A and B are shown apart, each in its own frame.
Chain A
Amino acid sequence: MGVFTGVFTGVNAGEWGGFIEGRLGTRLQEDPLEKQASVEDLRAQVATRGFLGPVDYDLCVDFLYNGLNPDLEDVNLETGNGWIDLRSANILWAPVPWMDLKIGRQTLTWGTGDLVFLNDLFPKDWVSFFNGRDVEYLKAPSDAVYSAMYFGDWIVDLVWSPRADTDRYLDGTYMSFYPFIFTADDPLQTHRPHSGDASLRVKTTLGDVETALYGYYGFWKSPAGFTAEGVGLFPDLQVVGASALTPFAKGIGNVEVAYYNSSEDSDGSNPMIQNSEARFLLGYQQELQTDLSMGVQAYSEWLQDYEAYTENIQPGERLRDEWRQLLTLRLTWFQMNQTLMLSSFIFYSPTEVDGYARLLAEYKWSDTLTLSAGANIFAGENMESFFGQFQDNTNMYVALRRWW
């Protein structure tokens, strides 16, 4: 007689799946600091999932030939550099009936924003997002212990990473950005955090409203400070926030707020460390007509201690507004029996007078073959604004993915 009984008996050898994908992209203008190509990927994903007794497992590996990578042999599982990118490797089990524990490499997401993040402090891959990889690669994996606890109508999620995972941030290797001094040969150097971080969410549904409170204790996820020598830092950061999401009018409305406490610069006077900020988001999505859906968002960032910030700003540093406003519009249109998807996601900032458009056409040639073409278009009045600095990276790409 086995140790495990009931539904937890047995072994499932698991399902295997994955895809092979080729993806090519080019800048639509010259960038003096970067190659003309924006993406050159040949990627094979192998994934398997199953269970052994009471434990579920999940393994997903990308084998990548990145034509733009200066050193394929230089494998780094945190940055995704090199020929292998481990997307997930975790086990999940319920040690007690009210808790699911997932341990290992995993992708994590929460919050109510659509491509706008307030309380989601899990690592993002900004390079993949901007250079035309599939949007699923925006989320970089975390090495974490994730405990989801269920108490009646309440869900308490606690995530702890023994060593904080940073974003896969821009360092000049693939994309140029203000102040235009970093390149593939001379990328931004950083001191990565060596201690852990933790995220908390408490979620419940009140009537028809999905509400959540959030907390984060750790570090800025992309460089938000510099040493005197210009080495990037990930200063300490604590975040508290809340969100609500509910059916509203003919669609779904959401609101989210977060306060980012940049504790290494608590009075905002240190020009080498990013100031604290408050973030606000209001969103609404609705189906406009059959197979055409729309989402709109209004987002604000309020830089704290603005006076101290302007008094201490260093020459050559990008001057931020006290309030940064951002509007987004998503349109998704399905055609031809849902085999063709046309999608457009536009960011526009009236305060910075800049914007970013993500355009995508995706055609499912068959159940196993997907063709896609898209563009990432950056525009701005000047080269210092958030999106304006990426203007020379405006790119388009094509991709062919064969599932198996």
Chain B
Amino acid sequence: MKIHIPFYMILLTTCSIMLADEPLTGDAVAEMAEQAAYYAGKDGKSDVHMVITDANGQERIREFRVLRLNGEDNKQMFFVYFNEPADVREMAYLVHKQGGGAEDDRWLWLPAISKVNRIAPGDKRTSFVGSDFVYEDISGRSLNEDQHELLPGEAEYYVIRNTPKDLSKVDFASYDVWVRKDNFLPVKAEYVDEEGKVVRRVTADKIEVIDGIPTVTQSTVEDLRRESKTVNTFRNVAYNIGLNERLFSERYLKRPPREATR
């Protein structure tokens, strides 16, 4: 579930940096790509259909609705409401992303026992719901975690090489991201190991303009070590739908808002 890809927008700040007529640095492109990928609109929603295919060809399906609201200073709130598979149906997941590399606050609603569980901060490279996406793909990897180097570009893309400052926390050596020059949408990421071999690849397969915002409506992640892949399809995407901050609270974990359930 690559929530950050569909929510794309060019911020005014992005434009002003471009107009400044200074040569773009890796840091600047990385920041614009982050804004483009994670912070489109004031808020947004999307239905995510996820197909996980393991090395044996067995498929597992995940279906959930995501509600997202931007806050100040890169803070953000997410609501994930599961529909499939049946054993997690009606579970809800609330994230208060603190931004700036601070740990996110996370809660899980377990309807079978009517309990709100606070979730301990976890390894951000942990698989999300058993897919090839990791938690960090959803919540966003803090820009402070990596050094960003602008590689000699291609005609339509900036290519950023991101090298983690702390290699002990990750399962790769570095990753390159292809960022479209016209709209700063990241459309491909390749993660390599110490030997420079690609071990993981995320691609934006389909892009549509929704509410004026170029939006990825299908994306794929391939884990080349495990030989598994996950394809996400995004439906019913909408931006600036007027979500209220109060939705992202314990009350609506226990009683998912109808925005989340239909």
Contacts and interface: CB of A to CB of B under 8 A. Distances in A.
Interface of A: 7, 12, 15, 17, 19, 49, 51, 56, 92, 100, 106-110, 136, 138-139, 148, 150, 155, 210, 245, 247, 250-252, 285-287, 289-291, 293, 337-339, 364, 366-368, 370, 403-404
Nearest to A7: B258
Query: SS class of chain A's interface: helix, strand, loop or mixed?
Result: strand
A109 B122 CA distance: 24
B228 A139 contact: no
Contacts of A100: 251, 254-255
Contacts of A107: 112-114
A92 B118 contact: no
A93 B87 CA distance: 26
B113 A148 contact: no
Given A107-B112, A107-B114, 6 more contacts: A12-B262, A19-B86, A56-B255, A155-B250, A252-B121, A367-B85
B86 A337 contact: no
A115 to B, nearest CB: 11
A107 B250 CA distance: 17
Contact of A403 (B85, B251, B255): B85
A285 B122 CA distance: 11
A337 B127 contact: yes
Given A7-B258, A17-B89, A252-B120, A136 B61 contact: no
Most chain A CB atoms below 10 A, which of B54, B121, B125, B228: B121
Nearest to A142: B114
B11 interface: no
Nearest to A208: B105
A403 B255 CA distance: 23
A324 B54 CA distance: 49
Contact of A290 (B105, B123, B251, B259): B123
A7 B257 CA distance: 10
Contact of A150 (B85, B105, B118, B251): B251
27 contacts: A7-B258, A19-B86, A49-B90, A92-B255, A100-B255, A107-B114, A110-B115, A138-B113, A139-B113, A148-B251, A150-B251, A155-B250, A250-B120, A250-B121, A252-B119, A252-B121, A286-B120, A338-B127, A364-B87, A366-B58, A366-B60, A367-B84, A367-B85, A367-B86, A368-B85, A370-B87, A403-B85
A285 B127 contact: no
- Measured as residues with beta carbon below 8 angstroms from the partner, the interface class of chain B is 35 or more
Nearest to A152: B246
Contacts of A293: 120, 122
Nearest to B256: A56
Interface of B: 52, 54, 58, 60-61, 84-87, 89-90, 103, 105, 112-115, 118-123, 125-127, 129-130, 226, 228, 250-251, 254-255, 258-259, 262
Given A17-B89, A366-B60, A337 B121 contact: no
A236 to B, nearest CB: 26
Contact of A287 (B58, B120, B129): B120
Contacts of A15: 89
A106 B114 contact: yes
A149 to B, nearest CB: 10
Contacts of B115: 109-110
Contacts of B127: 291, 337-338
Contacts of B112: 107, 136
A403 B121 contact: no
A380 to B, nearest CB: 28
A106 to B, nearest CB: 7
Contacts of A56: 255
Contacts of B103: 247
A285 B120 contact: yes
A51 B250 CA distance: 20
Nearest to A112: B118
Given A403-B85, A403-B86, A136 B113 contact: yes
3 nearest A-B pairs in the assembled complex, by CB-CB distance? A403-B86, A367-B85, A338-B130
B251 A337 contact: no
A338 B123 contact: no
Nearest to B52: A337
Contacts of B259: 7
Most chain B CB atoms below 10 A, which of A289, A364, A367: A367
B114 A108 contact: yes
A362 to B, nearest CB: 10
Contacts of A366: 58, 60
Nearest to B123: A290
